[in-house]
Amino acid sequence: MEILIVLGLVLAGAVYLAVRSNRPDDTTTPPSRPGLHKKPRLATNQGQRTSQPQRFDPDHRIPKPDFTILSGSAYVVDGDTLVIKKTQIRLFGVDAPEMNHPYGKKAKWALVSLCKGQKIRAEVTEQDTHGRTVAKCYLEDGRDLSAEMVKLGLAIDWPKFSGGRYQSMEMPDARKKLWLANARQNGHMGLWKQYEEKQAARKLKN
């Protein structure tokens, strides 16, 4: 009798295990919580791609500072050009005659006289279309070199670049006297060519 009871218990246990193993919600590990095993996403800024860095765009370079300061003694090239610490500088906002033009040498020596023994302060504003450095240049006492050359009648205001800053300082006859500089401002470069051709012809005769 006891053997029958044991066999019955064993058979009941086997049936119970067989039924339990076929139930869909029966696992050997606890059920996972929603999202627990999902692959984490990379954190990105909205609208940006993270696959590859963007290539450098030369049109979006970091802009230069508004100005750079140069200071030191000056070597004068002509009436509106000087050199400070090996940097050739064009005086801001004015136009002086070229060395081979009327009053060209006089303008140069006037600028030499102004700069002699002075420590010139140049506040760089930009580079012109020829790659030259343009700067507002000041004497030790704060006088603006561009203004001083205009007041002497040896340079004229160039409104395109100065905004008319020095126009009121011009001598009454300055544009008539410096007519080639005035012609350049007005786009009459043919007058330059005619003048220089005449100068070349005179040299050949001499």
d(CA 142, CA 161): 21
Catalytic hit among 2, 41, 55, 98: 98
**Cβ-proximal residues to 121 (8 Å cutoff; 6+ apart), any chain:** 69, 70, 71, 137, 138, 140
In the residue annotation, 197 being an active-site residue is answered as no
Q: Which of 126, 132, 143, 175 is the catalytic position? A: 132
Q: Hey, how many other C-beta atoms are within 10 angstroms of the C-beta on 174? A: 21
Which residue of the set 2, 23, 33, 90 is catalytic? 90
Neighbouring C-beta atoms of residue 87, cutoff 10 Å: 15
To the query of whether residue 20 is one of the catalytic residues in this protein, the response is: no
Residue 98 annotated in active site: yes
* Strand ranges for the chain from DSSP E: 69-72, 75-78, 81-84, 87-91, 94-95, 120-127, 133-138, 156-157
Residues serving a catalytic function are 90, 98, 132
